[in-house]
Structure 1
Amino acid sequence: MDKVGPSTSVQAVAAPLTRSACFLVVTVRPDGIDTVREVLSGLEDLVKTVSFRDAQSALSCIVGIGSDVWPALTLLPRPKELHPFKEFHGEAHSAISTPGDLLFHIRAERPDICFEFEKLLLEALDGSVDTVDEVTGFRYFDARDLLGFVDGTANPVGPALPAAALVGEEDPQFSGGSYVVVQKYLHPMEKWDALSTEDQEAIIGRRKADNVELADATEGQKSHKTLNTITQDGQELEIVRDNMPFGTPGKGEFGTYFIGYSRRLWVIEKMLERMFIGDPPGFHDRILDFSEPETGITFFAPSLELLSSLGGADESLGIRNNQKGK
């Protein structure tokens, strides 16, 4: 398998999972492009400024750019697979597309560090964007979701992680970038808690207590684990998940923020197709009976090198236009 070039400067997609995170989605105002370019080009400096308060906080911020705003913001062609979120409408459930031009995936070991970074980021972006979604997530016990199961078990590790998440030689202009899909799911906990542990385990495909995999169903109703296993030529194609629980018990809100990074957007889309349409069609993922998607957005997280170049995008516009005319 081809690899990302050693000279490519990548965002922190492969960074270790943290205990706190914020998922901020905004739309860019028509007159806000220049401001957004400047902020994105200097984002790493802002990370360093906030990280200086606690070097052990492991602060990072991954930026994803949506298909609609990509041409105006970057003045570049879109990455090969970048397009708006692909909706899926099954017999019982639908994966919906919702607005969003930019994603800021802010991670740290401390929630106050995430808070401080987001506050300063929005101050810098003031007047150029509108917030459409903001979710604060937390690591729940031993990396479990609010349904009680360990989440992210199937994440690749070691060299397999960048190989699964980062674009390589197949799209050299955007090598080191990653496709990102986010969905905010809400859980009717009373309905879920009414199930027996055995029924819950059959839906997920793992034992609840120790996370051991259960046998895959070969026909009919398949588990969440099985439906999210995508293979090509006998090889499993992995993605990197950094899902986080969120919630407000006083309001009865309990959810999971799904975020998946992939070298191949079609792999995540295939997972969603199998979940919502079913495999075979009509046998949807039963986790959807207890997880209602409120959002659905696709982004591309470019390399740090591309992000840092955005500050000079206006100056390079004439050069790029001249190159197109040759």
Structure 2
Amino acid sequence: MSQKPQNVTDYPNNNTIFSVWKFKEGAEIKEAFEALCGLVKNLNSSFKVRVTEGPTSCILGISHDAWLKLGLPTPLPKELVPFKEIKGDKHTAVATDADLHLHLSAVNSAICYDMAMAISKVLLPVAECTDEVQGFKYWDGRAIIGFVDGTENPNGEDRNYFGIVGDSEPNYKGGSYLFVQKYIHFMKDWDNLSVEEQEKIMGRYKATDIEMEEHKKPSNAHTALTAIEDEDGNELKIIRANMPYANPSKGQAGTYFISYASTFSTTEKMLKNMFIGEPVGNYDRILDFSKAISGTLFFAPSLDILDDYSAE
């Protein structure tokens, strides 16, 4: 059987809608889920024909609890567990409850809107949308705090290696562990820093996007704490598809952090380094200017698994 992944290795696009859903108590969810699986497949196929100026994708993620509610195959993907908060001395990576996650991406915001409306028609009778974030490309791929985001992402074939489950989980080959966090940035405090202070917090030069020299980079810089290696010293990576979002009239701006990976353990290690510190107490300084207000782990099954459950 082919085990074709969803579009988890796509590069971030110009426009995005992220939506998080929670099933209503007592709702008949099986039929709606089957319709959703068919719709995801249909949307990905349809827009390849309708839109030729750039890629379009619709990615579905399923949480641990939703997996059980839906009666999907057991044993579950081995690292698909309810995310537990990671609490440091000063900052916390909170855990939030959710069932489904939709990641809609396109060059044109109208496409994202059409996909979101079609999905809502299927899900609203049985689920509540607990969060919806409209992300946008900011200049040359920068986060709203002004630094280029995703520079350490794998490229080429490495995206498949680090982003997609392989032979280690044959029943879920082609899937991906999807983790999301919604961050609010304290922009007034951040903007009051000098560029040099910001660069030391990020471990990267702002204008050029070049990583700071090791002898100059603080040990609690963001790039220092999110660089992960295995026991043999090989670098481990995740695919970040982060997008900025903002509500300027309310003075709100932030980053929707979203990672796809062949295991969740790599992402979890990065989070522990950021929030607890390496060593303990040496936490990521960016957290003094950012707050995580959500955190959920999902699994994005292969398109073949979605096809198995499709009502089409």
Identity of aligned residues (%): 40
Query: Do 1:68 and 1:84's aligned partners in 2 also have CA atoms closer than 8 Å?
Result: yes
Displacement of 1:49 after TM fit? Answer: 3.8
Displacement of 1:35 after TM fit? Answer: 1.2
Select 2:17's aligned residue among 10, 22, 28. Answer: 22
Query: Do 2:200 and 2:217's aligned partners in 1 also have CA atoms closer than 8 Å?
Result: no
Q: Normalization by structure 1: what TM-score?
A: 0.90
1:1-326 aligned within 5 A: 7-29=2-24, 30-50=27-47, 52-77=49-74, 78-216=76-214, 221-232=219-230, 233-311=232-310
Query: Do 2:61 and 2:100's aligned partners in 1 also have CA atoms closer than 8 Å?
Result: yes
Query: Do 1:41 and 1:309's aligned partners in 2 also have CA atoms closer than 8 Å?
Result: no
Distance of aligned partners of 1:108 and 1:219 in 2 relative to their CA distance in 1, 3 Å threshold: closer
Query: Do 2:63 and 2:299's aligned partners in 1 also have CA atoms closer than 8 Å?
Result: yes
* Aligned equivalents of 1:53, 1:261: Cα separation in 2: 27
* Aligned equivalents of 2:264, 2:285: Cα separation in 1: 23
Using the TM superposition, name which of 127-136 and 216-225 deviates more. 216-225
Q: Deviations over 1:196-232 (max 9, x none)?
A: 1111000101000001111236997421001001101
* Aligned equivalents of 2:171, 2:215: Cα separation in 1: 41
One-letter amino acid of the counterpart of residue 194, structure 2: S
Displacement of 1:53 after TM fit? Answer: 4.1
Query: Do 1:32 and 1:127's aligned partners in 2 also have CA atoms closer than 8 Å?
Result: no
Displacement of 1:32 after TM fit? Answer: 2.1
* Aligned equivalents of 2:51, 2:212: Cα separation in 1: 42
Q: Deviations over 1:39-63 (max 9, x none)?
A: 2134211333455543324210111
Which secondary structure does the structure 2 equivalent of 1:56 belong to? coil
* Aligned equivalents of 2:280, 2:215: Cα separation in 1: 15
Distance of aligned partners of 1:51 and 1:113 in 2 relative to their CA distance in 1, 3 Å threshold: farther
Query: Do 1:50 and 1:116's aligned partners in 2 also have CA atoms closer than 8 Å?
Result: no
Query: Do 1:27 and 1:101's aligned partners in 2 also have CA atoms closer than 8 Å?
Result: yes
Query: Do 1:37 and 1:73's aligned partners in 2 also have CA atoms closer than 8 Å?
Result: no
Unmatched tracts of structure 1, length 5 or more: 313-326
Unmatched tracts of structure 2, length 5 or more: none
Displacement of 1:14 after TM fit? Answer: 1.3
Displacement of 1:238 after TM fit? Answer: 0.6
Which secondary structure does the structure 2 equivalent of 1:22 belong to? strand
* Aligned equivalents of 2:31, 2:57: Cα separation in 1: 23
One-letter amino acid of the counterpart of residue 271, structure 1: M
One-letter amino acid of the counterpart of residue 277, structure 1: I
Q: Deviations over 1:156-200 (max 9, x none)?
A: 111111000111111100001000110000011110011111110
Query: Do 2:166 and 2:174's aligned partners in 1 also have CA atoms closer than 8 Å?
Result: yes
One-letter amino acid of the counterpart of residue 12, structure 1: N
Number of residue pairs matched by the alignment: 308
